[in-house]
Amino acid sequence: MPRFALRIEYQGADFSGWQRQRDLPTVQGALEAALARLEPDVPSIAAAGRTDAGVHALAQVAQVDLTRDWAPFRLAEALNFHLKPAPVAVLAAARAPDGWHARFSATERRYLFRVLARRAPAVLEAGLVWQVRAPLDAPAMQAGADCLIGRHDFTTFRAAECQADSPVKTLGELRVEEIPRHDGVEYRFHVRARSFLHNQVRSFVGTLERVGAGAWRPEDVAAALEARDRAACGPVAPPHGLYLAGVSYPEDPFRAS
């Protein structure tokens, strides 16, 4: 039974997250419904990460085991046909290497969080950015972000319902990018790690926004980290600014496709 890797883009506003749920629209449910149009009795698919309700993906990665040895291009085309009109697209399909797993073989996950500072409502980007009214102090936010890079106990930035065995994670990157626009200023938070705790990225961004707005000092972020107490965290940023931007593998199935 050949295993295929799928690289997937989706707009998360219409979904109750990635993971299939009874009587609720999910990305996994939409993809499995499309797969069922191609082959009966397709096993459940697995993904590199389970995004929450409202979260988007630029390059989610999932796996599926199929009976037929599809040409990858034809598989992607057929899935995209059956996915309409759901806001989901299969960007690429590839034969997976032996032993490859979308979740357990991943060595890095990358997230992007977009914040738009402007006074007028973000009509065209509603649901795609977190909008704030006033510009933020990007250097101050970066100074706070720098306190979080490395291996730490991230209990403060972990949702109460997080099921991870340990709050200790290694954060490889948390970079703040400031982009002037004709309508305001966009701030992009680039976050990179092998794995993340539940709501960790949104907790980072919500806390750093307080630094950018002048309500917190950069050193307050370090104090919150050291507290190892969820109550010390700043507000949690909303899900609609968050994107799963990419997943890395030692043996990338898409590199050869």
DSSP string, 69-129: ---HHHHHHHHHHHHTTSSEEEEEEEEPPTT--TTTT--EEEEEEEEEE-SS--STTTTTS
Q: Does residue 215 share a domain with residue 174?
A: yes
What is the CATH number for 56?
Answer: 3.30.70.580
Residue bearing tokens 């960007």: 91
pLDDT of residue 257: 54
Q: How many separate domains does the chain show?
A: 2
pLDDT of residue 50: 92
Q: Does residue 219 share a domain with residue 198?
A: yes
81 in a domain, yes or no?
yes
What is the CATH number for 221?
Answer: 3.30.70.660
Amino acid identity at 12 = G
| Domain extent for 132 | 108-245
Whole-angstrom distance, CA of residue 212 vs CA of residue 194: 27
CA 130 to chain centre: 15
Average pLDDT in the chain: 96
Q: Does residue 224 share a domain with residue 119?
A: yes
Q: What is the tens place of the pLDDT at every residue in 152-203?
A: 999 999 998 888 899 999 999 999 999 999 999 999 999 999 999 999 999 9
CA 256 to chain centre: 24
Q: Does residue 90 share a domain with residue 34?
A: yes
251 in a domain, yes or no?
no
Report the number of secondary-structure helices (H) and strands (E) in the chain.
5, 10
Q: What is the tens place of the pLDDT at every residue in 19-59?
A: 999 889 999 999 999 999 999 888 889 999 999 999 999 99
Q: Does residue 79 share a domain with residue 178?
A: no
Which of 73, 105, 137 represents a domain boundary (last residue)? 105
Q: Does residue 186 share a domain with residue 93?
A: no
230 in a domain, yes or no?
yes
What residues are labeled active site?
A: 52
Q: Does residue 240 share a domain with residue 115?
A: yes
What is the phi/psi pair of residue 221, to 5°?
-65, -45
Q: Does residue 216 share a domain with residue 146?
A: yes
Which among 98, 73, 92 has a CA at the least distance from the CA of 1? 98
Do 197 and 154 form a contact (C-beta atoms < 8 A)?
Answer: yes
Whole-angstrom distance, CA of residue 158 vs CA of residue 214: 23
11 in a domain, yes or no?
yes
Q: Does residue 71 share a domain with residue 140?
A: no
